């Protein structure tokens, strides 16, 4: 189930600003971000922001936002690829292992999101940003490591408690539809994985501190470690074999990967002079501020937690093989989170610090201009991404996941889930940007209320149809939920700050839709034609590779050509940012 906020798998995930100090973030001090990004430490490279107009985002600021988002996207690309490789490796073990493993990750991930990860955008970054100036660096250290130490204590106690309640929780609450053997395996995995919170919790806090200092590079790189650990665990487990309980290597790999994330943050922490401090200042005013900001978000995550486990419970009970259905949903979610992490999260992280600055300055017009720029960029990238995943869903799924014990039937299930999830991609981009807009205004209550309301969309589809339509109904229910959320947020934001000039995006939107329509026709036509050629048959790996490459390349070329022909300005901004990152400009 795709939930609000930074994608956890990371996706990755899933934000930025400060002084110059990092070569990567110095991609010109026109700013950048993500759920893990680089930091700038180069004064000479700073490009001042021009204050020519209060009507729009100034050119230098626009370039800064685009470059920041591009940096985050490029930095997260490696993590997203590793996350995909991780899921391919897990899928190859078959649904009898993949289902329990993906289910077992959920309790630890959900608890981490509830306690700390969910507070990154809404509470930690806005509060840390108040201490981001160089002269307040020691105060920032004190606040950051007070929270780190407190989180360590809480996570340690929670991991011990979960050791005892895991069998009951898994069998009764989480996956009652699994077989007895699958429940035992899920419990074994979950008990081990829960100890990864001793690293994941502190990582979230340190990541937020680096984001506040606009250090985005190392956090983006660090998230790849989580996936690498699981891959290594799977490889070692495969060598040990079932006789030595080698499958538990997957869970041990989660722990190794989590601590690897912390290790990869160390260079960024050194860049920002954020050294460990043994402190527990529970009376610091920043903690009260964080709790005040996060209280409504925490409530939202409590509600979200209920629906996450409801979704898993229903999936385990859907017609057919419950573990196979849930594994299909998880692998489809990974494919959705790939563009979600690269685009939606990157843009939201990139614009959050800039919008927060405009709010502090009382400059509502530049706030709106920054938001609109983010919306246009998000739609430019996410609409074709959704269309591409839908039209090429089966060859993509077969190529990525249909190996070893993952069968063609498993691929069909995953392709169906992917189609029903993919419709929400453009809405996810809009949603992440609107959440950043509310967080920049230090309003965390409204998104919480809207989040609770939007779950009605999930229930309206899931409850009547999970027993008849089955797993596809659960995937589509999630799409309805995540599509309602940004629509309602947009209406409420307009009521709060006045006209947002959304009509200005309509011409761009129409051009994007026109180019996407042609792209879909070309991709579909290419598949139909290629299916008559034995070399491109989906029954063998080479055919899957060639179909995805040829049809996907044609579709991409047609779309890029279409938006260029229609003169979509944002394309040039993205192109310029990528060329600058590659050192060609």
DSSP code per residue over 146-197: HHHHHHHHHHHHHHHHHHHHHHHIIIIII-TTS-HHHHHHHHHHHHHHGGGH
Say how many CA atoms lie within 13 Å of 326 toward its Cβ: 31
pLDDT digit string (tens) for 300-356? 778 888 998 999 999 999 998 888 999 999 999 989 888 877 776 666 666 666 777
What 8-state DSSP symbol labels residue 21? -
CB 178 within 8 A of CB 186: yes
- pLDDT confidence of residue 114: 83
The gap between the terminal CA atoms of the chain, to the nearest Å, is: 41
pLDDT reported for residue 38:
29
Predicted confidence at residue 445, as pLDDT, reads 81
Low-confidence ranges of the chain (pLDDT < 70): 1-79, 118-122, 216-217, 220, 237-246, 344-353, 570, 572-585
Tokens of 500: 């947002």
Whether residue 325 contacts residue 312, with contact meaning beta carbons closer than 8 Å, is answered with no
Distance CA 304, CA 452 (A): 8
User: Which distant-in-sequence residues (6+ apart) come within 8 Å of 467 by Cβ?
Assistant: 318, 319
pLDDT of residue 29: 26
Backbone angles phi, psi at 335, to 5 degrees: -65, -35
Query: Cα(29)–Cα(17) distance, rounded to whole angstroms?
Result: 9
Q: Are 33 and 16 in contact (CB under 8 A)?
A: yes
pLDDT of residue 447: 85
Q: How many Å separate Cα 270 from the centre of its chain? A: 26
- Within 8 A by CB and 6+ apart from 155, the residues are 115, 197, 198, 201
pLDDT of residue 6: 36
Q: Tally helices (H) and strands (E) across the chain.
A: 21, 0
Q: What share of the chain in percent tops pLDDT 90? A: 34
DSSP string, 423-482: TTHHHHHHHHHHHHHHHHTT--HHHHHHHHHHHHHHHHHHHHHTTTT-HHHHHHHHHHHH
Give the chain's length: 585
pLDDT at residue 190, as a whole number: 94
Query: For residue 543, what are the CA distances in angstroms to 531, 536, 538?
Result: 9, 4, 5
Supply the pLDDT for residue 441: 80
- Report which of 401, 487, 503, 505 is spatially closest to residue 451, judged by C-alpha positions: 487
Q: What is residue 551's predicted lDDT score, i.e. its pLDDT? A: 93
Q: CB–CB of 218/194 below 8 Å?
A: no
How is residue 273 written in tokens? Answer: 């002079």
Q: What is the pLDDT of residue 469?
A: 93
Both tokens assigned to 529: 């034609």
What is the spatial distance between Cα 528 and Cα 522, in angstroms, rounded to a whole number?
10
pLDDT score for 236:
74
**For residue 445, what are the CA distances in angstroms to 244, 324, 498?**
50, 37, 19
Exposure of 497 in the CB half-sphere (CA atoms within 13 A)? 23
CA gap 159, 154 in Å, rounded: 9
Q: DSSP label at 49?
A: P
- Among 172, 199, 198, 194, smallest CA distance to 183 is for 172
CB 455 within 8 A of CB 307: yes
* Whether this model's pTM surpasses 0.85: no
Instruction: Give dist(CA 413, CA 398) in Å, integer.
Output: 11
The residue behind tokens 């899931």 is 462
Q: What is the pLDDT of residue 7?
A: 36
Give me the pLDDT at residue 45, please: 29
The span from the CA of 53 to the CA of 299, in Å, is: 40
């Amino acid at each position: 189930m795709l939930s609000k906020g930074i994608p956890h798998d990371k996706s990755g995930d899933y934000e930025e600003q400060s002084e110059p100090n990092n070569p990567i973030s110095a991609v010109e001090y026109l700013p950048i971000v993500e759920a893990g990004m680089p930091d700038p430490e180069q004064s000479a490279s700073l490009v001042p922001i021009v204050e020519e107009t209060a009507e729009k985002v100034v050119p230098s600021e626009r370039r800064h936002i685009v470059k920041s988002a591009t940096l985050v996207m490029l930095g997260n690309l490696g993590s997203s690829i590793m996350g995909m490789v991780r899921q391919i490796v897990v899928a190859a073990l078959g649904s009898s292992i993949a289902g329990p493993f993906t289910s077992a990750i959920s309790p630890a991930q959900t608890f981490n999101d509830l306690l700390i990860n969910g507070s990154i955008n809404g509470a930690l970054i806005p509060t840390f940003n108040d201490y981001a100036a160089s002269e307040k660096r020691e105060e920032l250290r004190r606040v950051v490591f007070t929270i780190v130490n407190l989180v360590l204590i809480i996570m340690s106690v929670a991991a011990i408690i979960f050791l005892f309640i895991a069998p009951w929780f898994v069998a009764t609450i989480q996956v009652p539809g699994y077989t007895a053997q699958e429940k035992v395996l899920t419990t074994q995995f979950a008990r081990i994985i829960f100890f990864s919170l001793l690293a994941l919790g502190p990582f979230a806090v340190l990541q937020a501190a680096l984001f506040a200092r606009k250090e985005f590079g190392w956090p983006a790189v660090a998230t790849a470690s989580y996936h690498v650990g699981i891959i290594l665990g799977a490889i070692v487990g495969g060598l040990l074999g079932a006789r030595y309980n080698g499958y538990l290597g997957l869970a041990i790999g989660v722990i190794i990967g989590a601590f690897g994330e912390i290790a990869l943050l160390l260079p960024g922490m050194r860049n920002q002079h954020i050294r460990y401090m043994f402190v527990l200042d529970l009376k610091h005013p920043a903690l009260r501020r964080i709790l005040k900001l996060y209280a409504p978000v925490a409530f939202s995550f409590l509600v979200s937690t209920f629906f996450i486990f409801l979704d898993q419970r229903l999936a385990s009970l859907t017609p057919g093989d419950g573990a196979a259905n849930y594994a299909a949903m998880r692998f489809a979610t990974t494919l959705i989170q790939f563009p979600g992490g690269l685009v939606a999260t990157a843009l939201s992280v990139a614009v959050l610090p800039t919008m927060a600055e405009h709010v502090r300055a009382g400059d509502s017009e530049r706030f709106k201009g920054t938001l609109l720029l983010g919306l246009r960029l998000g739609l430019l990238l996410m609409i074709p991404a959704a269309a591409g995943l839908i039209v090429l869903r089966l060859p993509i799924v077969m190529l990525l996941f249909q190996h070893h014990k993952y069968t063609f039937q498993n691929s069909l299930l995953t392709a169906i889930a992917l189609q029903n999830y993919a419709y929400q991609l453009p809405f996810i981009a809009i949603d992440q940007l609107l959440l950043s807009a509310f967080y920049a205004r230090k309003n965390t209550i409204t998104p919480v209320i809207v989040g609770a309301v939007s779950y009605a969309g999930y229930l309206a589809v899931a409850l009547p149809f999970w027993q008849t339509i089955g797993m596809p109904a659960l995937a589509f229910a999630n799409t309805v939920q995540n599509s309602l959320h940004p629509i309602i947020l947009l209406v409420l934001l307009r009521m709060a700050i006045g006209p947002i000039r959304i009509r200005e995006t309509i011409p761009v939107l129409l051009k994007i839709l026109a180019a996407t329509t042609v792209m879909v026709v070309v991709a579909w036509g290419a598949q139909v034609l290629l299916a008559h050629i034995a070399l491109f048959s989906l029954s063998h790996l080479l055919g899957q590779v060639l179909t995805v490459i040829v049809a996907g390349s044609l579709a991409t070329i047609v779309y890029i050509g279409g938006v260029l022909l229609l003169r979509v300005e944002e394309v040039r901004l993205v192109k310029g940012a990528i060329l600058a990152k590659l050192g060609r400009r």
